[in-house]
Structure 1
Amino acid sequence: MKSKNSIISTIIIFALALSLIPSCSKESKDKIVVKGSTTVLPITQKAAEAFYEKYKIVISLSGTGSGDGIKSLIDGSCDIANSSREMHPEEWALAKRKGEIIKEVAIAFDMIVPIVHPSNPVSSLTLHQLKAIYEGSVKNWKDVGGNDATIVVISRDSSSGTFEVWESKVMKHVEVRKDALLQASNGAILQTVSQNPKAIGYVGFGYINDKVKPLYVNTVEPTIENGKTGKYPIARKLYMYVNEVKIKPAAQTFIDFMLSPEGQAIVKEAGFIPIKE
C-alpha cells in the first residue's frame, strides 16, 4: 500500500505573553496534554479555546491517531487520550499490568461517511458495495451506477481509530486493496477526494463540507438524527480516556467541561452529535 509518512501533529498552546501572566508557574503545572484521534481533534480544538477563556488553563493538543493517544496515556506522556474507537482488550490488559486505571468517557456520537467528488453521479452505496470497492472486487464506477471510470480508493492508515471502525463495520476484517492510497487524517482524505473525480474516501461526519459529496449508505442519509438513533449503518461514539491513578485536577475539570451543556454545545458547533442533550 502507498502511505503518507507525515503525521498530523497540531500543537495548540493557549497562553498570554509572559509579561502579562505573573502566575506562569501555576499554568505550567496545570497544563493539560491531550493526544490521539484526528477525528476528535476539531472538537477538542474548539473546546480548548473556550476552556482557556474560562479557566486560564493551557492545553497542548496533538492529533496523531487513536492508537498513539491511548499508548501515550498508558505510558504517562499525556493526560487525556482522544479516541474514535473503543480501547482494545490488549490495551486494557497492558494498563492493568502497569497498575493504571483507565476510565472511558464518551463525549459525542459520530458517523463515518463515505465521500466522493461532487461531480460523481453516485449518491448511495450499500455496505456490500463499499466492501467490494475497498477489497478490490469492484474497480469501475460503472459497476455501481456511475461513470465508466476506474475507482481510486482512499483509506486511512492502520493506526487510525476511524480505519479500525471502517475495517470492522464495512470490511468485516477483510484487507483493503493493496493499491489504496493511505492518508494520515480525515483532512487529508477530504482534500484528496475533493481534487479527484474518480476517488472515494471516508471521513468523520464533522469533516464534511461542500467540496465533497457525502453518500447515503443502505439508502440511509448521514444526518444527526440517523447518527443519534443508530439508523445510519456506520455510526460510533467518540471518546476521551483518562488515567484515574494519575489524573490532574485540571484534566478532570476539562472532562467535566466537555460533558457540560457548554461543552456539548461545542460538540454540535464542531459538526458532531452531542452525547447529552
Structure 2
Amino acid sequence: MTLSSKSFFSLIVILLVGHAGWPTCIHAAAQKLLLTGSSTMAPLMSEIGRRFESIHPGVRVEVQTGGSSRGLHDTRRKIADIGLVSRALKPEERDLLAHTIALDGIGIVLHASNPLTALIQEQIVAIYQGKITNWKTIGGQSARITVVNKAEGRSTLELFLEYFRLKNSAIKPHAIIGDNQQGIKIIAGNRHAIGYLSIGARQQNLWATSGSGSAPSA
C-alpha cells in the first residue's frame, strides 16, 4: 500500500532568497545556480532544475540537501542562491523572502507487512516516548518496536513535535535519520519500525496512518 495523501498534518514548501531578490547569475553564461536545504523539496527542485537547464543551456542547477536549517543558513550567508525550506518562516527569519511553491503532507509510516490498520495519536505519542515498546500492546504482533526519529534541524521533526506536543528530549529513538530516503531504507528493511516521512517520498512497501484512528484511503 502506498502512503496516503490524506496524512495528518501538512508542511509548506517554500523557496528562500535574500531581500535583494532572485539571484542574477541565471542571466550570465556558464553559471551555476546552487539550491540547498530541505530533502523533501530536493526531488521536485531537481526536476525543475533540469527543465530550467534545457531552457538556459549556459546555466547548471545544482541541488544539495542537508535540511531546512541548511537552506536558511546558506541563503543568509550567500553560500546558496536559493534556500529550500519545508515549513513556514519563523518571525526571526523574516529577513529572507519566502515564496511558497507547494503544500506537502507528513505521514506516520510503517512497513506494509505490519498487520495494524490504524494508530491513534495517544498510541503514537506513547510509542515515541518509549511507553509502548511492543506492537502486541496495541494489537499487533509480538515484536519490539523500532522507533525512527528525524535529526535536529529537519522541518519534519519540528512539525512532528508541534503536532503531537512533544519535546525532542522526551523521544526515545532507536534510529535518527536525516533525509526521507534514509527513513525509507530503514523502515522498508525493518518490519517492526515506525517513522514519519513526507508524502512525496511514498513507497509501495510502506503505508501511512492518519494518526486519528482511521486507515489511509490510498
Normalising by structure 2, what TM-score? 0.80
**Contact 1:35–1:81 (Cα < 8 Å) also in 2:** yes
TM-superposed CA distance for 1:223, in Å, is: 6.6
* RMSD, matched Cα: 2.1
In the TM superposition, 1:101-120 aligns within 5 A as 102-120=96-114
Determine the C-alpha separation between the residues in 2 that align with 1:105 and 1:221: 33
- The residue matched to 2:99 in structure 1 has which SS? strand
Determine the C-alpha separation between the residues in 1 that align with 2:174 and 2:88: 25
In the TM superposition, 1:133-152 aligns within 5 A as 133-152=127-146
Residue ranges of structure 2 left out of the alignment (5+ in a row): 1-27
Counterpart residue number, 2:159: 165
Counterpart residue number, 1:132: 126
In the TM superposition, 1:234-273 aligns within 5 A as none
**Contact 2:147–2:172 (Cα < 8 Å) also in 1:** no
The one-letter code sitting in structure 2 at the alignment partner of 1:55 is: H
TM-superposed CA distance for 1:91, in Å, is: 3.1
Aligned mate of 2:178, from 184, 192, 203? 184
Determine the C-alpha separation between the residues in 2 that align with 1:199 and 1:223: 21
Counterpart residue number, 2:74: 72
**Contact 1:134–1:171 (Cα < 8 Å) also in 2:** no
TM-superposed CA distance for 1:125, in Å, is: 1.1
Normalising by structure 1, what TM-score? 0.64
Counterpart residue number, 2:207: 213
The one-letter code sitting in structure 2 at the alignment partner of 1:47 is: I
**Contact 1:135–1:175 (Cα < 8 Å) also in 2:** no
Determine the C-alpha separation between the residues in 2 that align with 1:144 and 1:205: 25
Deviations 1:201-247, CA, capped at 9 Å, x for gaps: 111001111121222321456579xxxxxxxxxxxxxxxxxxxxxxx
In the TM superposition, 1:77-88 aligns within 5 A as 77-88=79-90
Counterpart residue number, 2:11: none
- The residue matched to 2:169 in structure 1 has which SS? coil
**Contact 2:148–2:173 (Cα < 8 Å) also in 1:** no
Aligned length: 191
Residue ranges of structure 1 left out of the alignment (5+ in a row): 1-24, 96-101, 225-277
TM-superposed CA distance for 1:146, in Å, is: 1.0
